[in-house]
C-alpha cells in the first residue's frame, strides 16, 4: 500500500486529470490510499468527493487583478495554508505528493519538499502555470502534454505523457446510435457539438445564438452546452426557431455520447478539451479564451493548428466569422478527414497509466 497526496484544482482542467491519475493508481493497486488537497470554496471541494475521494481544503486564494485591495490578506492565507499542509503531511505521511496546478498545489508541494517527501508535477498546458514553474525545481519528474516544455522546466525531468482524460471518450464509435437517441437527433444529419468549458463561453454562445438560423438552413443539427449564465437565452432562441434540431443544455454530463454524435466541434482550447478532441478524433474549430493566464489557450490551439489538426478562430472575430467557418468546414469533406486524421496522431490514450507508473517508480 502506498500513500499519495494529489493537490491542485480551481478548474475542471486541473481536477479531471487529477481524478484520472487517482483512478489509475487505484486500478494498479486498490489498497493505495489517496488524499486530495484543494482550495476552500473551489470546485474541487465538490467534484473530488463525487469521484469517491477524500479532500482537505486550504484557505489559499489567487491574486485578484481587478481589485488589488482584495489581495491584502493573501500573505496570511499563504501562511495558514502552509501550516495546514504541514499538519496534513505529518498526519498522513505520504510516500509522494503530486501537483496538478492551481492554487492549492503551491503550498502542498513547497511543504512536501521541506519535509523530504518526493514530488511529481503534471502540467496540462503548452504554457506552464506560475505554480508549477515555481515548484518544478525540486520535483523528481514533470509530466507534460506538449513538446518544447524545456523552456519552463529542467529538460532532464520532463516526460511527455499527454493529459489523462476519462476513459469513456475512447469508446465513442460504438455509441453513435445510442447518442442520437439520447439527444433526440437525426443520425442521417451532420452534427455540430458546441462546448465552452464547464462554465460556458460567452463569445461562442453569442456567435452560435446569432447564427442558429444559418446552421439550420445549412442542414446541420446542434448539440450545444451553454453553461448556466446563457442557458435561458439559448432556450428562447431555440424555441423561437421551432426546431427539433438543436439540443441545448447548461451542462452535458454524457460527454462520451456528445462526442459520439458529433461530426465536428467548436470548443475553447483548454488543455483538457484539446486532449479529449485528440482522443475523439474530431475535426474542430478552436476559439481560445484570450484572458486565460499567459494566453495559454492560444498556445494550446496553435500546437494543433500548426500541424493542420484544427482550425482557429480568434475570440475577437468569433461573432463575425465563427458560424461561417463552421458551415465552410462542414461542407468540406476532404478537410474534415484531414483534420480528423492529423488530430488522431496527437492523442495519448495511455497518459493516466504512464503518469501512475512514474509515480510508483519514484516511490520505489
Residues annotated within a binding site for UDP-N-acetyl-alpha-D-glucosamine: 11-13, 125, 166, 198, 252, 271-276, 297
The three three-digit cell numbers of residue 130, written as one number = 506560475
Count the Cβ atoms, other than its own, within 10 Å of residue 184. 10
Cα-Cα-Cα-Cα dihedral sign, residues 46, 48, 50, 56: negative
- From the annotation, which residues make up the binding site? 11-13, 125, 166, 198, 252, 271-276, 297
Measured between alpha carbons, how far is 246 from 220 in angstroms, rounded to an integer?
A: 9
- Pair 226, 236: CB distance under 8 Å: no
In terms of Cα–Cα distance, which of 283, 340, 289, 364 is closest to 2?
364
Measured between alpha carbons, how far is 87 from 203 in angstroms, rounded to an integer?
A: 44
Measured between alpha carbons, how far is 106 from 193 in angstroms, rounded to an integer?
A: 36
Cα-Cα-Cα-Cα dihedral sign, residues 225, 312, 170, 31: negative
First to last CA, the chain: 12
Amino acid at each position: 500500500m502506498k500513500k499519495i497526496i494529489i493537490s491542485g484544482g480551481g478548474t475542471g482542467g486541473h481536477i479531471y486529470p487529477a481524478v484520472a491519475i487517482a483512478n489509475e493508481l487505484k486500478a494498479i493497486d486498490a489498497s493505495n490510499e489517496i488524499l486530495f488537497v484543494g482550495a476552500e470554496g473551489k470546485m474541487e471541494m465538490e467534484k473530488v468527493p463525487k469521484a469517491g475521494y477524500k479532500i482537505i481544503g486550504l484557505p489559499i486564494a489567487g491574486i485578484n487583478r481587478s481589485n488589488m485591495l482584495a489581495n491584502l490578506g493573501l500573505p496570511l492565507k499563504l501562511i495558514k495554508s502552509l501550516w495546514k499542509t504541514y499538519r496534513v503531511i505529518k498526519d498522513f505521511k505520504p510516500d509522494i505528493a503530486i501537483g496538478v496546478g492551481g492554487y492549492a498545489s503551491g503550498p502542498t508541494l513547497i511543504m512536501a519538499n521541506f519535509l523530504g517527501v518526493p514530488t511529481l508535477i503534471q502540467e496540462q498546458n503548452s504554457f506552464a502555470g506560475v505554480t508549477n514553474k515555481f515548484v518544478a525545481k525540486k520535483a523528481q519528474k514533470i509530466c507534460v502534454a506538449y513538446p518544447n516544455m524545456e523552456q519552463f522546466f529542467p529538460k532532464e525531468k520532463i516526460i511527455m505523457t499527454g493529459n489523462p482524460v476519462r476513459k469513456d471518450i475512447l469508446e465513442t464509435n460504438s455509441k453513435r446510435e445510442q447518442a442520437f437517441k439520447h439527444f433526440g437527433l437525426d443520425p442521417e444529419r451532420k452534427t455540430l457539438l458546441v462546448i465552452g468549458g464547464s462554465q460556458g463561453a460567452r463569445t461562442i454562445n453569442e456567435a452560435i445564438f446569432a447564427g442558429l438560423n444559418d446552421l439550420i438552413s445549412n442542414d446541420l443539427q446542434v448539440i450545444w452546452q451553454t453553461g448556466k449564465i446563457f442557458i435561458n437565452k439559448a432556450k428562447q432562441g431555440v424555441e423561437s426557431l421551432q426546431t427539433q434540431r438543436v439540443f441545448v443544455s447548461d451542462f452535458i454530463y454524457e460527454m462520451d455520447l456528445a462526442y459520439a454524435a458529433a461530426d465536428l466541434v467548436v470548443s475553447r482550447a483548454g488543455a483538457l478539451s484539446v486532449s479529449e478532441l485528440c482522443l475523439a478524433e474530431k475535426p474542430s474549430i478552436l476559439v481560445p479564451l484570450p484572458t486565460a493566464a499567459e494566453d495559454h489557450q492560444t498556445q494550446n490551439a496553435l500546437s494543433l493548428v500548426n500541424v493542420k489538426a484544427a482550425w482557429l478562430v480568434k475570440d475577437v472575430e468569433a461573432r463575425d466569422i465563427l458560424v461561417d467557418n463552421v458551415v465552410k468546414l462542414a461542407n468540406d469533406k476532404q478537410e474534415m478527414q484531414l483534420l480528423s486524421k492529423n488530430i488522431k496522431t496527437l492523442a495519448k490514450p495511455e497518459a493516466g497509466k504512464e503518469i501512475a507508473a512514474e509515480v510508483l517508480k519514484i516511490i520505489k
